[in-house]
Amino acid sequence: MRINLSPMRMDATLSVIRSGNAIVVNGEEFDFSRVAEGDTLPSAAIKSTWFAGDVSRVDGELELTLILPLPINYSPDQAFPSPLEDVRDGVIPLPMPLPEPGEQA
């Protein structure tokens, strides 16, 4: 699975877990097992504000884009995120913000 991240300034949190052809976004499961090789599922068909583009399967790999919320103390890794390549099952680590003033890094 390949996950692209589209940064957007907001005070929300995002948690993502992969389980096979499904991902759980903030506790809501989205199963993409019916997206076959070469298919594209339009983002308008996905009932979630967290998806910022279509979901497709290319060379057997699902590819999708999620909105990455940027807190007030966002880091360069959050502002300019690299695609998450070869995402395995489990909790997906996302770029972290900079420490709050007075916090230790």
Instruction: Report the C-alpha gap between 49 and 53 in whole angstroms.
Output: 10
Examine residue 95 and state whether it is found in any structural domain, yes or no.
no
Is residue 79 very low, low, confident or very high in pLDDT (cuts 50, 70, 90)? very high
In the predicted model, what is the mean pLDDT of residues 75-79?
Answer: 97
Say how many domains are in the chain.
Answer: 1
10 occurs within a structural domain: yes
How buried is residue 97: exposed, middle or buried, by Cβ count under 10 Å (0-12/13-18/19+)?
middle
Domain annotation covers residue 96: no
Query: Would the pTM count as exceeding 0.85?
Result: yes
The Cα–Cα gap between 91 and 33 comes to 19
Quick check: is 67 in a domain?
A: yes
Residue 105 falls inside a structural domain: no
pLDDT tens-digit series, residues 10-43: 999 999 999 999 999 999 999 999 999 999 999 9
Whether the pLDDT of residue 100 is over 90: the answer is no
What is the overall mean pLDDT for the chain?
A: 95
